[in-house]
């Protein structure tokens, strides 16, 4: 996909925007901001109600950008008084404001409904012979006017203000359509009411359309309310992550423990964490040990045993012991804050498939207005009458729904990236989410990705009367003072069988050959053929076995006791537990799988064979890995590179999708498109499965959004009249428009049913 290099003075910010009601609103803001000097990139997301702006700080400021958005007719949330993790978006404050907005919509809807129901009753009373008090019958036009005016005041101004604002910015949106529809019905009825009061025309239900204006507002307010509630559920992942944030920390200074707000914790502070408490911020343990539950951040279910020197992640749960740690990252630099920021940016990014919907939405409102006007004139000229033609006009502009088009992709992206984050999969942008399902090939780095990244004992072979426990114990005694990675692997394996490993009295390391140690009267030798040859020890009985192990890509060492071969111990960098299953699942998805490594071909082939990989790229220098990726892409393949995000950074950047596994490093997060927090290759499969599931929902959303408008507008225009006469009602159109928007968001929410493979 390739990373972008920004100028040093380029800044990227997130601005929370209020007042967007459809995709046209987002397009209007984008168009307005792009025309500003210094703005290089703008992405306004209708579903998340955020503007993602890249700009040159020397030419324009954040304050000027916010002012520009407000001039275009929309509101901006400018700050957070609650210390949100992401200072750019003021997330805590934003959630509070959005909650208040939902409450206000609920109040407006209930008010509109309370006055619309009696209005409908009175307006239909003469047609259905409903009982009505005589005083109301005599003043029916006045009663309907008063009831409708209350509804218009409660909800209509909500749309009128939006229309006035966008008219000032010379752009139209969904508010424009709603205001025209409501305004046409209300003011046509008002004119006729005046004529009735002046006794120029008699009262008739066919000359007053107050109930249409009132119920249009009621249904659209209901749609906005449901949309607000359901959209809130699409961002549950962000809410959960925010809920993990710790409010206070116990800091140890000058022998005194003091509880302070988390905002006051500084890098270098010593923090105390007791059992059951959350770790306040990122840091390194300096005293004590404990089991830490990191599941809410990493998705890993089992607590991790940590001790002095280990890193702790802020907001994880301390399960057992008390420990002290030194804060290394605080505030917006913590691991959790970076995750929140990445998820927010991913939820606000646009997938390529959204471009078609955005293009349609940009021309949608003007096109609908033109269609409605043409249809109105056609019916009027045909002799249908002004009232009927006006009804058709209102129905057309109300049934049209750019909202469904605008919500189809971003709501699905929000839910999918949120599900990914909950499972320790950080998908950094919508483009990667869409592309993951289309991959042709997945290239795995070997060391630290397919394998554990450190040697482990694989074989213990006995010679003579010695047992495997004897061989392992001799090797561990010899290596106990060594700092070599192989020595650590041997001692770790030995401690699993017997924690008590004696300290050698004499230890001598011979570079390139092995070690010699003495314990009491026994001399232990651990090394290769050269060392045993120098000691004149006969190895003829086991030399072939050593050769066989080496052919398998393993490091084989002979173990001797008092000038006699006791056995062989072999080590190798072993596969991760999930590697074989992950490769098998990728093949079942028809993905080509490659192994790339700087190791020799023999070792690479051995690991590849164990993992079930046929295509091997061996003896490739780190600097050449990107070139190998480019060769695969030149063959027309869409390629993902899976690595640890450190020395694989160039290859991760060169691939169509770079996936960093088990990495919380800045390098990984910067260079990869997808970061898998857990060290589990099955998450690569989960990413592809989640992509496929999300894209299926996006295609469904777009299909129904397009079909709804393609079918709905002609029906509302009276194309099949009188067979579809019941549809030529603005109230029915308002209900259909509301249903279309809400149904798209609800369908996106079904992505939460996604379950990863076990």
pLDDT in tens, 324-347: 999 999 988 888 887 777 777 776
SS (H, E, C) 498-557: CCCCCCCCEEEEECCCEEEEEECCEEEEEECHHHHHHCCCCCCCCHHHHHHHHHCCCEEE
Is residue 666 very low, low, confident or very high in pLDDT (cuts 50, 70, 90)?
low
Is residue 2 very low, low, confident or very high in pLDDT (cuts 50, 70, 90)?
very low
Q: Please, where in the chain does CATH 3.30.70.100 lie?
A: 10-78
Domain 439-450+576-678 matching CATH 3.90.180.10: the answer reads no
Q: Please, where in the chain does CATH 3.40.1110.10 lie?
A: 452-574
Extract the tokens encoding 8: 């040093």
pLDDT at 550: 82
* Rounded Cα distance, 21 and 223, in Å: 11
> What DSSP line would sit under 32-100, residue for residue?
HHHTSTTEEEEEEETTTTEEEEEEETTT--HHHHHHHHHHTT-EEE---TT--S-TTTTHHHHHHHHHH
Which region among 86-100, 493-507, 543-557, 568-582 has the lowest average model confidence (pLDDT)?
Answer: 86-100
Q: Please, where in the chain does CATH 2.70.150.10 lie?
A: 243-333
Contact (CB, 8 A) for 390 and 184: yes
Residue of higher predicted confidence among 347 and 255: 255
Q: What is the pLDDT of residues 106-133, one digit of tens each?
A: 998 999 999 999 988 888 887 667 788 7
The architecture (CATH level 2) of 243-333 comes to Distorted Sandwich (2.70)
Under CATH, to which class is 452-574 assigned?
A: alpha beta
Which residue in 293, 445, 648, 683 is the catalytic one?
445
Is residue 316 over pLDDT 50?
Answer: yes
Which region among 73-77, 83-87, 605-609, 644-648 has the lowest average model confidence (pLDDT)?
Answer: 83-87
* Angle, CA 382 vertex, CA 380 and CA 388 arms, to 5°: 45
pLDDT at 3: 44
Domain 10-78 matching CATH 2.20.25.190: the answer reads no
Is residue 413 over pLDDT 80?
Answer: yes
Active site residue 445: yes
Dihedral pair phi/psi, residue 426, rounded to 5°:
-100, 105
> What DSSP line would sit under 259-291, residue for residue?
EEEGGG--TT-EEEE-TTPBP-SEEEEEEE-EE
Integer angstrom CA distances of residue 264 from 255, 311, 379:
19, 21, 70
Q: Please, where in the chain does CATH 3.40.50.1000 lie?
A: 439-450+576-678
Extract the tokens encoding 663: 């990495």
């Amino acid at each position: 996909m390739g990373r972008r290099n920004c100028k040093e003075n380029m800044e990227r910010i997130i601005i929370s925007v209020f007042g967007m009601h459809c995709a046209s609103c987002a397009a209007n803001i984008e168009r307005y901001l792009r025309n500003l000097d210094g703005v290089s990139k703008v992405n306004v997301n209708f579903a998340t109600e955020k503007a993602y702006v890249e700009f040159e700080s020397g030419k324009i400021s954040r304050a000027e950008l916010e002012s520009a958005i407000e001039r275009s007719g929309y509101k901006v949330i400018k700050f957070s008084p609650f210390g949100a993790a992401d200072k750019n978006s003021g997330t805590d404050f934003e959630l509070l404001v959005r909650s208040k907005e939902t409450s206000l919509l609920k109040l407006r809807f209930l008010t509109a409904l309370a006055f619309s129901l009696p209005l409908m009753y009175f307006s239909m009373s003469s047609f259905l012979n409903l009982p009505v008090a005589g005083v109301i019958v005599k003043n029916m036009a006045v009663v309907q006017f008063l009831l409708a005016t209350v509804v218009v005041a409660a909800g209509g101004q909500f749309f009128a203000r939006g229309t006035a604002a966008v008219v000032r910015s010379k752009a139209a949106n969904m508010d424009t359509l709603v205001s025209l529809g409501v305004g046409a019905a209300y003011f046509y009825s008002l004119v006729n009411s005046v004529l009735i009061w002046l006794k120029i025309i008699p009262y008739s239900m066919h000359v007053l359309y107050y109930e249409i204006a009132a119920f249009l507002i009621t249904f659209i307010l209901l749609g906005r309310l449901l949309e607000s509630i359901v959209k809130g559920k699409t961002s549950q992942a962000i809410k959960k992550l925010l809920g993990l944030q710790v409010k206070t920390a116990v800091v140890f200074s000058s022998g005194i423990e003091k509880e302070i707000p988390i905002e006051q914790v500084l890098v270098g502070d010593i923090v105390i964490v007791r059992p059951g408490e959350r770790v306040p911020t990122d840091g390194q343990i300096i005293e004590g040990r404990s089991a830490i539950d990191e599941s809410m951040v990493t998705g890993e279910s089992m607590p991790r045993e940590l001790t002095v020197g280990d890193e702790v992640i802020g907001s994880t749960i301390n399960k057992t012991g008390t420990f002290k740690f030194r804060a290394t990252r605080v505030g917006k630099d913590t691991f959790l804050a970076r995750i929140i920021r990445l998820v927010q940016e991913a939820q606000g990014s646009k997938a390529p498939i959204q471009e078609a919907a955005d293009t349609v939405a940009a021309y949608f409102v003007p096109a609908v207005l033109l269609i409605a006007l043409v249809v109105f004139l056609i019916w009027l000229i045909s002799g249908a009458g002004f009232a009927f033609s006006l009804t058709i006009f209102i129905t057309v502009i109300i049934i049209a729904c750019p909202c469904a088009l605008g919500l189809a992709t971003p709501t699905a992206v929000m839910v999918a990236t949120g599900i990914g984050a909950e499972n320790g999969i950080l998908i950094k942008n919508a483009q990667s989410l869409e592309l993951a399902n289309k991959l042709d090939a997945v290239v795995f780095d070997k060391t630290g990705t397919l394998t554990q990244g450190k040697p482990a004992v694989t074989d213990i072979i006995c010679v003579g009367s010695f047992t495997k426990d004897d061989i392992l114990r001799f090797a561990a005694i010899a290596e106990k003072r060594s700092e070599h990675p192989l020595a650590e692997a041997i001692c770790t394996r030995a401690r699993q069988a017997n924690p008590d490993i004696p300290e050698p009295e004499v230890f001598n390391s011979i570079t390139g050959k092995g070690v010699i140690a003495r314990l009491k009267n026994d001399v232990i030798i651990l090394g290769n053929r050269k060392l045993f040859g120098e000691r004149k020890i006969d190895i003829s009985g086991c030399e072939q076995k050593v050769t066989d192990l080496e052919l398998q890509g393993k490091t084989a060492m002979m173990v001797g006791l008092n000038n006699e071969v006791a056995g062989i111990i072999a080590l190798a960098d072993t596969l991760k537990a999930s590697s074989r299953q992950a490769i098998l699942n990728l093949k079942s998805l028809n993905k080509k799988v490659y192994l790339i490594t700087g190791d020799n071909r023999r070792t690479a082939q051995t690991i590849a064979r164990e993992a079930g990989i046929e295509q091997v790229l061996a003896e490739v220098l780190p600097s050449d890995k990107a070139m190998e990726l480019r060769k695969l892409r030149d063959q027309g393949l869409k390629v993902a590179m899976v690595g640890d995000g450190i020395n694989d950074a160039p290859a991760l950047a060169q691939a169509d999708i770079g996936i960093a596994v088990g990495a919380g490093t800045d390098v990984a997060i910067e260079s990869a498109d997808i970061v898998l927090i857990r060290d589990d290759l099955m998450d690569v499969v989960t990413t592809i499965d989640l992509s496929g599931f999300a894209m299926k929902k996006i295609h469904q959303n777009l299909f129904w959004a397009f079909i709804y408008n393609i079918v709905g507008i002609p029906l509302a225009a009276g194309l099949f009249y009188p067979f579809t006469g019941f549809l030529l009602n603005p109230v029915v159109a308002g209900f259909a428009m509301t249903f279309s928007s809400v149904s798209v968001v609800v369908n996106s929410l079904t992505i939460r049913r996604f379950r990863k493979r076990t």
